[in-house]
A = this chain, B = another copy of it.
Amino acid sequence: MDFFFYPRSVAIFGSFKEGAIAYEILRNIVDGGFEGRIIPVNPKGGTVQVSGKTFEIRPKLEEPVDTAIIVIPAKFVPSLIDEIGDLIEGAVVISAGFSEVGNVELERELVEKAKRHGVRLIGPNCAGIFGVHRKFFGSFEVRVKPGGLALISQSGAFGGAALAMGNEEGIGFSAFVSYGNAADLNESDFLRYFADDENTKAIALYIEGVKDGRRFMEALHYAASRKPVIVLKAGKSASGAKAAASHTGSLAGSYEIYRAAFKQTMAIEVEEMEELFDAAKAFEMYPKAGRRVAVITNSGGPGVLATDKLEKLGLEIAKLGDETVEELRSFLPPQCSVKNPIDLIADADYKRYKRTIEVVCRDENVDSLLVICVPPIFISSEEVARAVIEADCPKPIIVNFMAGELVRDGVNLLEKRGLKNFPTPERAAKALAWLSLR
């Protein structure tokens, strides 16, 4: 599938009037910096201006390209595939109007024509694809930063919203695919592909239902044994399943079966959209983490909240070794608590944070660290961020700098160094819980 996610050339079929979907996709591809060939195609010919560049619109495709993006009325799609089938490797069919509105026969025809020419299909009725490391944004959805997360979404709108929210959370993406009706390629194919894609560190999957449960199980097992796969399953409740059926036409099936499958394959199931991002953030940073956590904080309350959540999620509040406690006692002010959670109190500065992290990190009873910072007094949050970044600690560190604007500088510095922030103690605790499942 490299021709989809690492294409060297792309043809776009549709209307190139400003505001039309094909135009918006062309613009996204151009603005995204795609360096391959870009060929807009429309029988009417002419030219189209995009971001200061002029493209000649070809009346038809006459040279081979890796991928075609198709946004023409549904009924013309099968014959287009017939016409260009030998020139393309893959087709992304954005057009709606197939099985999702009852046109099952048209969709069958589309698949059959594609097969005849050896063309692989994504869609129809989808929002398109991104191959972020090739700077290929073949969708009208908002562009994203390069990174390690591949997002596979059955729902186009969910995918689009997730990309935008991922941007806000500082997530980097390797790829995005919205596969709509899944007439040919589906979640199972994408799972296997991204499992072997070297730019993908973790896979996030939004599904309502799958067509072939056995194949899905195998693909999930294949992918999850290679890298973290985070799944958000919609249609879990009775009404939700009914709604999913009318939405993507997928039979959501019994949620219990899905749950068992997720457990068995070591896929990480999350329950909420926000958790999908939080888990993705955690796995973009670390492949896994052990269960014994040390909490380091400059404020008691948030330390207690983190502790509560960690225990509730089945993690352990690490019992620090005697040597660790002794060493902490040797340099921390007497008001500090040297028991886990370790409270460095409000005036904790760079040195106190850095040395504590290093001492605790050396303790063999500790697998991972949760470092909390409320707006410090006397120093900037940036200084605490520097302490976290510069501390010599090879174990996973999850950070929770909290209080929005007041710790913004610290959070920005952390994120520049690839340390993503979790805005509450509980969300940080959940991140560690997901990491411990691998």
Contact = CB atoms under 8 A, between A and B. Distances in A.
A308 interface: yes
A158 B299 contact: yes
Interface in A366-412: 374-375, 378, 402-406
Contact of A302 (B161, B308, B311): B161
Contact of A335 (B19, B101, B242, B305): B101
Contacts of A206: 301
Interface stretch (A79-87, A110-118, A231-239, A351-359): A231-239
A273 B425 contact: yes
A99 interface: no
A42 interface: no
Interface string A37-58: 0000000000000000000000
A425 B272 CA distance: 8
Contacts of A300: 155, 157, 243-244, 246-248
B426 A142 contact: no
A343 interface: yes
B247 A337 contact: yes
A89 interface: no
A406 B402 CA distance: 25
A247 B304 contact: yes
A122 interface: no
B237 A308 contact: yes
Contacts of A153: 301
A424 interface: yes
Nearest to A319: B239
B308 A236 contact: yes
A335 B296 CA distance: 54
A423 B234 CA distance: 17
Nearest to A309: B272
In the assembly, how many copies of this chain are there?
2
A154 interface: yes
A405 B164 contact: yes
A378 B24 CA distance: 12
A287 to B, nearest CB: 26
A124 interface: no
Contacts of A340: 239
Contacts of A405: 142, 164, 167-168
User: Which one of A240, A271, A272, A346 has the highest number of Cβ atoms from chain B below 10 Å of its Cβ?
Assistant: A240
A427 interface: yes
Contact of A161 (B238, B244, B374): B374
A246 B165 CA distance: 39
Given A244-B300, A246-B343, 13 more contacts: A142-B403, A155-B300, A157-B298, A157-B301, A160-B403, A164-B405, A237-B310, A240-B305, A243-B337, A247-B301, A271-B426, A272-B424, A274-B427
18 contacts: A153-B301, A154-B301, A155-B300, A155-B301, A155-B302, A157-B346, A158-B299, A208-B304, A237-B307, A237-B310, A237-B311, A239-B317, A240-B311, A242-B339, A243-B303, A243-B343, A272-B309, A273-B302
Query: Closest 8 CB pairs between A and B?
Result: A247-B300, A155-B301, A157-B299, A158-B301, A237-B311, A164-B403, A240-B308, A168-B404
